[in-house]
Amino acid sequence: MEAIFLVLVVFVVLFIYNSKKGIKNDISKERITQRKSSFDSSLSEDLESLHTTKKEDQKRKATIQKKYKIIAKFYKSYKFIDYANKKSHKIAKKQMADIVNILDKNLYDLSALTDTEVPFLIVGMITFKHVTKEQVIKVNNDLAKLYKMGLQLNFNDRLMTSLEFVLPKETESLR
């Protein structure tokens, strides 16, 4: 009877030992699976983040170039006119509106997007060959004359603010 009891105890111990070993193997397999799936999902998230960042960077660069082209178009199509002449009133009005609605708006957007001051943006526009240095100088000199005239004749505040933003150094000396 003792022998049967002893054999029974040995079987119970072996059964418990094997069942714990099986549980440990199951837990170990679960941990490996969790770690692997966690690692895989982490890699997937990292790669997705990288692709998203790259796409955003491409969109940002495209937006910057688009803004540069819009500003360059203003500089290229700028008309040098006598603002006091009544015959050029219609062109002068449109050009003054373009200073506020096109030049100022796009330079402001570009400045905010790149965290760069306007003079450096103008240099960038020349560097990217959107417009020549000579054209920028001519237009800026004419805009400075317009600003000076605006101070004397008390032009619209919005136009004057736009000119101050576009020509920070030139207008500072005239104020």
* HSE-CB for 65 with a 13 A CA cutoff: 8
Q: What is the pLDDT of residue 172?
A: 63
The string of DSSP letters for 3-72 reads HHHHHHHHHHHHHHHHHHHHHHHHHHHHHHHHHHHHHHHHHHHHHHHHHHHHHHHHHHHHHHHHHHHHHH
Q: What is the pLDDT of residue 173?
A: 60
Q: What is the pLDDT of residue 83?
A: 79
Q: What is the pLDDT of residue 56?
A: 83
Q: What is the pLDDT of residue 86?
A: 85
Q: Answer whether 0.75 is exceeded by the pTM.
A: no
Per-residue confidence in pLDDT tens, the chain, 175 aa: 666 666 566 555 556 656 555 555 555 555 655 555 566 666 666 666 666 777 888 888 999 999 999 999 999 999 998 877 888 889 989 999 999 999 999 999 999 989 999 999 999 899 989 999 999 999 999 999 999 999 999 999 999 999 999 998 765 665 5
Closest CA to 66 of 105, 95, 98: 105
Q: What is the pLDDT of residue 43?
A: 63
